[in-house]
A and B are shown apart, each in its own frame.
Chain A
């Protein structure tokens, strides 16, 4: 295969790759190797994207070769291959995998290998999708910039001095950098959608329970959700169709399937649909360029026949505060298992006595980073005697109020719309010393997690003032993920018609960016 072919292959969507593979115009080994070559070219070194913590070369190529062999042999086995067989994918390193290390971006798990696969990973293996590797993240998915990774930040492919969002900055950057056509993310307060917004990619947080959480290292169990990361809306639908469905290993997994999401993405009309602008999720506090692109998307949807209505969700003003009580409370409990006994790091205190209590204290002090410690302390505080009712109890009541706001809003609109994040990508280091400023990035994405409703972020264009990607967020009622794909696909095609192609075509040449960085 020529170099030109390889460069073209990596720019194809998962759906396009699947079609070429099925037509035997290209082999799965060629497709997988093209992505591995791209990773080698742009990801590594001090100045690369740093989206990958581990590259799974050998296994990925072996799976690809298996797919090629099945296709070449023909017959029933070839016919039974999954549509996405041979289409490679990257997996956020919060999701456990046999045969590859899982670090959760933390020193406390450095070098640890899971003895089991997450359910979503089993499904990828069943579909014979080569796993390219594990992607970088904020430690235990705690952050909005990937700067809290113990293994160095991921850089935004649009500008390597900027953040790729977080916590799933690695997955979003890998897809934006054409290192992978697809990736898995996890979204507790926006960790799939906000990185999607700032990297010009698509990210979906499915309905809570729509995709099994078994094997995702838990941060906040009542908020965490695994979901797809891609460059097109259709690709996310294809991937959610692979990973979704009931799982007896996850007691919060929804028993009924969510319908045909791929068909919804292919339907392509919004005529007569009511789309609600959430009054509280735009305007003040949102960057002008974000607001402009948001308004442009509203105009396009209106021209396509949708009716735009305004809805008010007055309790969303408390969502961020309630989230920063519930999430740390659940995290402080979930992270208690990192005790230096069953897995991961064990650090002995410098002086005796070497009791287990002191070993735990020393292990957790050395193994956890600052943001994880902050959240554990905050959660322990919110759950402690005397504060429980005022903090955790109140936050749970606010959760009810947020759900009621959504119910009222969805009585007036089929789908809700807002900017995904209040700003475009900020500079690395800019908000690292100001945890509260960092938390504000998630103001528009958190309500969906609090209520369990699905949300999708898609590229809405570039902000005028800085030329960086802006994300548009769509929200639907619980179990109505199909609506997100339907509206998302329409908006995507209208925007791409306006731009003359995908937004990522406007991104600077990454190979040149990496070279410039190296010269610095």
Chain B
């Protein structure tokens, strides 16, 4: 398996929407390479025949009655928002219009 390098970290940071300085990318790449190296044995531990477990105690078909329960008022829902306007979350521009 390939080791993780600085370019990978820069790409992943973009995907994860975390701005990183050049210094941060260097440091993070070094630290993550050590961690990835330590966990890579996992890929050889289980053979093809072993099923995957996503939840430790699987429960299937968990339903509830389709009834309207507690809902937040707009004021409650917006109470922690950094910016809002007319009972809505106010979001920065989606597109760069310049």
Q: Which positions in A face B, CB cutoff 8 Å?
A: 112-116, 207-209, 222-223, 248, 251-252, 254-255, 315, 318, 320-322, 324-325, 332, 336, 339-346, 348-349, 352-357, 359-362, 364-365, 368, 373-374, 376-378, 380-381, 384, 387, 390-391, 393-401, 403, 435-436, 439, 449-453, 478
Contact B39 A356 (CB under 8 A): no
Let me know if A251 and B43 touch, CB within 8 A: no
Please list the residues of chain B having a beta carbon within 8 angstroms of any beta carbon in chain A.
1, 4, 8-9, 12-20, 28, 31-32, 34-36, 38-46, 50-57, 59, 62, 64, 72, 76-77, 79-83, 89, 91-98
Contact B80 A342 (CB under 8 A): yes
Whether the Cβ atoms of A251 and B17 lie closer than 8 Å is no
B36 touches A381 (CB 8 A): yes
B50 touches A401 (CB 8 A): yes
A324 and B16 within 8 A (CB): no
**Complex formed: what's the CA distance from A399 to B53 in Å?**
6
Distance between B36 CB and nearest chain A CB, rounded to angstroms: 7
| Shortest beta-carbon distance from B30 to chain A in Å | 11
A398 x B19 contact (CB < 8 A): no
Contact assessment for B18 and A398 in the assembled complex, using a CB-CB cutoff below 8 Å: no
Dominant secondary structure of chain B at its interface with chain A: loop
Q: How far is the CB of B86 from chain A (nearest CB, A)?
A: 16
> Considering only CB atoms, which chain B residue lies closest to A394 in the complex?
B43
Whether the pair B80, A400 counts as a contact (CB closer than 8 A) is no
The one of B1, B16, B72 in contact with A376, judged by C-beta atoms closer than 8 angstroms, is B16
Q: Which residue from chain A places its CB closest to the CB of B4 in the assembled complex?
A: A381
Give 4 nearest A-B pairs by CB, closest first. Answer: A452-B56, A397-B46, A346-B82, A343-B80
The reply to whether B17 and A222 form a contact with Cβ atoms under 8 Å apart is no
A322 pairs with B18, CB closer than 8 A: no
Instruction: Specify which chain A residues have a CB less than 8 angstroms from the CB of B81 in the assembled complex.
Output: 341-343
Are B57 and A356 neighbours in the complex by a CB distance under 8 Å?
Answer: no
Contact call B57/A115, Cβ cutoff below 8 A? no
- List of B residues within 8 angstroms of A114 by Cβ: 80
User: Measured between alpha carbons, how far is A341 from B80 in the docked complex, in Å?
Assistant: 9
Q: How many A-B residue pairs have CB under 8 A?
A: 185
CB distance from A222 to the nearest CB of B (A): 5
Residues of B within 8 A of A390 (CB): 1, 43
Knowing A321-B42, A452-B57 are in contact, say whether A377-B28 is a contact too (CB < 8 A). Answer: yes
Find out whether the CB atom of A380 lies under 8 angstroms from the CB atom of B32: no
Contact A391 B28 (CB under 8 A): no
Cβ of A396 and Cβ of B54 under 8 Å apart?
A: yes
Contacts of A208 in B (CB 8 A): 55-57
* Alpha-carbon distance A115/B72, docked complex (angstroms): 8
CB distance from B55 to the nearest CB of A (A): 5
- Quick check: B39 and A222 within 8 Å, CB to CB? no
Chain B nearest CB from A271 CB (Å) reads 30
Which of B53, B54, B82 has the most A CB atoms < 10 Å from its CB? B53
CA distance A362 to B18 in the complex (A): 7
What is the bound-complex CA distance between A376 and B12, given in angstroms? 9
Which B residues touch A394, using CB under 8 A? Answer: 42-46
What is the distance, in angstroms, from B84's C-beta to the closest C-beta of chain A? 10
Chain A positions within 8 Å of B95 at CB level? 355
Could you say which residues of chain A place their CB within 8 Å of the CB of B64?
A: 248
